[in-house]
Chains A and B, each alone.
Chain A
């Protein structure tokens, strides 16, 4: 994991003092609401004076035990004892007092964390594969490039007031676990015909009101050109993106309006001007950052363990968890292990201070002191020895963090919705509970297999409903909550936008409607065929006909 040097530390420390002074002046009435708005957004602080929300950056999802303990401490001391992991792998506090935010930022800086650029119309936290560095099929670990982008984009003087927020994601192998095709810029680490490793670059993807799959702007970009090319794209966007309407201000609208070819022409012309400048990334810098992400000193005898097989045979609950919530590690004798933040009848992504401490302890004891957050709002202990899995599972299970539902229907990605969010048109948490109750039988849920369900409380699509295999969108109809269902979305390598199945359903009918959708799948699937594959094979119509058939 990246460790701050003096430059990094000084920057976050100075930033804390800067914000402390700004907050003091605001509270003293010397700064207007508008002036303070611009400043606080750049520090991840949202909304009003009495109930702000602070979003802390989790750079490309990486956290260490010290940081998690600090976050637990902040949750206890400054908030209501819990926090919330977001789909950008950041962490939110929902109830800090404005007066205390400078102190919270100082606490964060003491463990090499910050809240810089977690909100506002700037370059946000770059996200990547939660399995970076530990999965066999990756071409190269994407995290060094995430860190290089983090540094380049932090307090970038030219790009702090873009037309709209700007999100970058990187994936590094054939399986896209970072939803790169629905980002403003998606980077794929690829190998060209000459065997060189570089990036395929996509631009103009995004969700929200106008969901779009990103388009390829460059099939291969050499590593040393990474920053100059990003800068060229964002400069063209900054100068040409729409500023008259915030719903048409994302880069996807510019790329659509201009056409990808014209957009590429502008970017290439700009890029030619800056390729050979200071932006050219020296190999020495790539190597320096890479050194922070070298593989751990793995126990070479880990694969000789026989206790795991024995425990799997003895304990069915453990076996079910193992099959669903752990993933093959590239190092023999190790497993990648999920911490499920999707317990029964509790908000997705929420975590208590006690659970944060517990995960920190587990990471320290069993996984080299590191934890990753996923864009589906779960956590990952990436390096657990086979021999330790049973102990890890027991601790997680006692803390309600081992629900064996990763990748299944109840591993829902859900925004806070109308209960918390001022933008929401409809509530989501009660609907999630309704679905959980309907699909409580884990055997049934496991039989349904991989199924991605995403639910957003409004068209801003924070929970990416367009790319859920099943998407649910809350809409407001004359003051009542209704829910529109889409099928066939995917945020992986075969990214697709879901299709609306028909008219929206009432709040009390969501789980029943879902049940019908599932029945169509079960009746049509081939053996071991995933929901999304059945959908692709048979199309929308069989679902539509069955769900909306008159009651018998």
Chain B
């Protein structure tokens, strides 16, 4: 699946795992519940471990241990589900420095909003991705409000 970082398609070394593929080598992204069940084992494995969270997860748990993960992926289970935008902002506010990745049902219309909410990586399904989507980032160039990006609210500019 194409992964966008800094508005460019880059190669992706991470693999999302589930219960059955948990043992695989390399850099893996583990859903929160699965991570909590296998924490000791995962912390001692070779390769990096990232976390997958969604709107149903306990965000306090995520925020408390965020720092230890080089990558946190936030799932957008359906295009109507906008919880991921707020989750990203909370992580950024908590000082999270790793890769903050949006994944799931992601279409062109949300790309710029995701960037503004602090996502540093956006993963798009193969069947959805089109190269021209990249222009979505620059279609609207000015904003009224501040968000997790460096834009200041219009009244402070």
Q: Show the binding face of A for B, using Cβ within 8 Å.
A: 7, 10-11, 14-15, 17-18, 21, 30, 34-35, 38-39, 42, 121, 151-152, 154-162, 227, 235, 238-239, 243, 273, 277-279, 281-282, 284-285, 288
Q: How far is the CB of B60 from chain A (nearest CB, A)?
A: 11
- Whole-angstrom distance between the alpha carbons of A158 and B118 in the complex? 10
Pairs across A and B, CB under 8 Å, 28 listed: A7-B144, A10-B141, A10-B142, A14-B141, A17-B139, A34-B79, A35-B109, A42-B109, A151-B144, A151-B145, A155-B140, A155-B144, A157-B112, A157-B113, A157-B116, A158-B82, A158-B86, A158-B117, A158-B147, A161-B81, A161-B110, A238-B85, A239-B55, A243-B81, A278-B146, A278-B152, A278-B153, A284-B155
The 6 closest A-B pairs by CB, nearest first: A161-B82, A285-B155, A157-B116, A157-B113, A278-B146, A151-B144
Supply 5 further A-B pairs (C-beta < 8 A) apart from A238-B82, A278-B152: A11-B144, A14-B142, A161-B80, A239-B59, A278-B153
- Whole-angstrom distance between the alpha carbons of A345 and B80 in the complex? 41
Pick the contact of B140: A15, A161, A162, A227 (CB < 8 A).
A15
Q: How far is the CB of A154 from chain B (nearest CB, A)?
A: 6
B140 adjacent to A18 (CB under 8 Å): yes
| B81 / chain A contacts, CB cutoff of 8 Å | 161, 243
B142 adjacent to A121 (CB under 8 Å): no
B113 adjacent to A14 (CB under 8 Å): no
- Whole-angstrom distance between the alpha carbons of A323 and B80 in the complex? 49
- Whole-angstrom distance between the alpha carbons of A7 and B74 in the complex? 32
B140 adjacent to A14 (CB under 8 Å): yes
- Whole-angstrom distance between the alpha carbons of A273 and B91 in the complex? 13
Q: Show the binding face of B for A, using Cβ within 8 Å.
A: 55, 59, 79-83, 85-87, 89, 93, 107-110, 112-114, 116-117, 130, 139-147, 152-156
Given A278-B152, A278-B156, A285-B155: A159 in contact with B140 (beta carbons within 8 A)? no
B83 adjacent to A279 (CB under 8 Å): no
Q: How far is the CB of A114 from chain B (nearest CB, A)?
A: 12
B107 adjacent to A156 (CB under 8 Å): no
B153 adjacent to A279 (CB under 8 Å): yes
| B87 / chain A contacts, CB cutoff of 8 Å | 239
| B112 / chain A contacts, CB cutoff of 8 Å | 157
| B93 / chain A contacts, CB cutoff of 8 Å | 273
Closest residue of B by beta carbon distance from A237: B86
| A35 / chain B contacts, CB cutoff of 8 Å | 107-109
Given A35-B107, A160-B113: A238 in contact with B139 (beta carbons within 8 A)? no
Which label, helix, strand, loop or mixed, suits the secondary structure of the A interface? Answer: helix
Closest residue of B by beta carbon distance from A34: B79
**Across the A-B interface, how many residue pairs have beta carbons closer than 8 Å?**
101
| A17 / chain B contacts, CB cutoff of 8 Å | 139
Q: How far is the CB of A263 from chain B (nearest CB, A)?
A: 16
| B156 / chain A contacts, CB cutoff of 8 Å | 278, 282
B144 adjacent to A154 (CB under 8 Å): yes
| B110 / chain A contacts, CB cutoff of 8 Å | 160-161
| B89 / chain A contacts, CB cutoff of 8 Å | 158, 235
- Whole-angstrom distance between the alpha carbons of A121 and B110 in the complex? 14
Q: How far is the CB of A208 from chain B (nearest CB, A)?
A: 18
| A278 / chain B contacts, CB cutoff of 8 Å | 146, 152-153, 156
B80 adjacent to A11 (CB under 8 Å): no
| A243 / chain B contacts, CB cutoff of 8 Å | 55, 80-81, 83
Pick the contact of A282: B85, B109, B155 (CB < 8 A).
B155
B155 adjacent to A158 (CB under 8 Å): no
Q: How far is the CB of A225 from chain B (nearest CB, A)?
A: 14
Given A35-B108, A239-B86, A278-B146: A18 in contact with B141 (beta carbons within 8 A)? no
B85 adjacent to A158 (CB under 8 Å): yes
- Whole-angstrom distance between the alpha carbons of A161 and B77 in the complex? 12
Q: How far is the CB of A399 from chain B (nearest CB, A)?
A: 38
| B154 / chain A contacts, CB cutoff of 8 Å | 7, 151
Closest residue of A by beta carbon distance from B89: A158
A157 adjacent to B144 (CB under 8 Å): no
| B59 / chain A contacts, CB cutoff of 8 Å | 239
| B114 / chain A contacts, CB cutoff of 8 Å | 157
* Most chain B CB inside 10 Å of its own CB: which residue of A154, A158, A159, A238: A158
- Whole-angstrom distance between the alpha carbons of A158 and B110 in the complex? 10
Q: How far is the CB of B120 from chain A (nearest CB, A)?
A: 15
| B85 / chain A contacts, CB cutoff of 8 Å | 157-161, 238
- Whole-angstrom distance between the alpha carbons of A30 and B112 in the complex? 20
- Whole-angstrom distance between the alpha carbons of A368 and B97 in the complex? 54
| B145 / chain A contacts, CB cutoff of 8 Å | 151-152, 156-157, 227
Closest residue of B by beta carbon distance from A35: B107
B80 adjacent to A279 (CB under 8 Å): no
| B155 / chain A contacts, CB cutoff of 8 Å | 281-282, 284-285, 288
Given A157-B112, A238-B85, A278-B153: A121 in contact with B80 (beta carbons within 8 A)? yes
Q: How far is the CB of A354 from chain B (nearest CB, A)?
A: 36
A38 adjacent to B79 (CB under 8 Å): yes
Closest residue of A by beta carbon distance from B93: A273
Pick the contact of A238: B79, B83, B107, B144 (CB < 8 A).
B83
Closest residue of A by beta carbon distance from B80: A161
| A39 / chain B contacts, CB cutoff of 8 Å | 109
- Whole-angstrom distance between the alpha carbons of A38 and B113 in the complex? 14
